[in-house]
Amino acid sequence: MNIAILNIKGEDTGRKAKLDDKVFKIEPNDHAIYLDVKQYLANQRQGTHKSKERADIVGSTRKVKKQKGTGTARMGSVKSPLLRGGGRVFGPKPRDYSFKLNKKLKSLARKSALAYKIQTKDLTVVEDFTLDQPKTKSYLDMLSCLSMEEKKTLLVIPSTNANIVLSGRNIPRTKITLARDINSYDVLNADKLILCEGSIEKIENILN
């Protein structure tokens, strides 16, 4: 399929980008997307949570009160979870939340996410551009020309460009990523997906 290429002023350049149907026009697989997003979010977790259980509490092990004759439940030590300052029952421990997914499944999920953006007409292609200097206003002007200043956007650039990244990183609801780092979560989390012309070929090569 073909899609019009715009410049950063929102004007049609008269050229069209050819998108590979095997990447951008497949039947979306919702379960593959679910697994890919689940893995992405799991990988963001540090897993450094820790609470003290009975064995971790520093305190006396002297019996708090006698076993019988008090009319209340027996109590072993001040480390009991029932007492203030005691250990926690089955508290969280440091763990690794990451899990493995097959490459083909991850590729299918990302193709599906891109296909959804095509279906909802939320994908825009702009010609490759650069900024003379890091300037947030320049990036905001581009979004305004594309009528996306009020939208949550994801810009995919073909290679590292410090001026573009520095210009857009402080703008709320705006994210910039490299074509090689594209993932299902970022694509679907954005209201509008902006692809630089040069990033299309890189995405197709990775996903195919």
Residue pLDDT, tens place only, 124-166:
999 999 888 999 999 999 999 999 988 999 999 999 889 999 9
pLDDT at 12 over 90: no
pLDDT at 60 over 90: no
- pLDDT of 61: 86
Which residues, in sequence order, are CB contacts of 149 under 8 Å at separation 6+?
Answer: 140, 143
Q: How far is CA 196 from CA 106, 182, 203, in A?
A: 22, 13, 11
The domains found in the chain, sorted by start residue, are: 2-45+99-207 (3.40.1370.10)
10: exposed, middle or buried (Cβ count in 10 Å: 0-12, 13-18, 19+): middle
Give the Cα separation of 36 and 117 in Å (integer): 17
DSSP string, 76-115: --TT-TTSTT-PPTT------------HHHHHHHHHHHHH
pLDDT at 208 over 90: no
What is the value of pTM for the model shown? 0.83
Contact 159, 178 (CB under 8 A): yes
- Determine which helix (DSSP H) or strand (DSSP E) holds 194, and give its type and residue range: strand 192-196
3-state DSSP percent of the chain in helix, strand and coil, to 5: 35, 15, 50
Residue pLDDT, tens place only, 14-43:
899 899 999 999 999 999 999 999 999 999
Residue 55 backbone zone (phi > 0: left; psi -120 to 50: alpha; other: beta): alpha
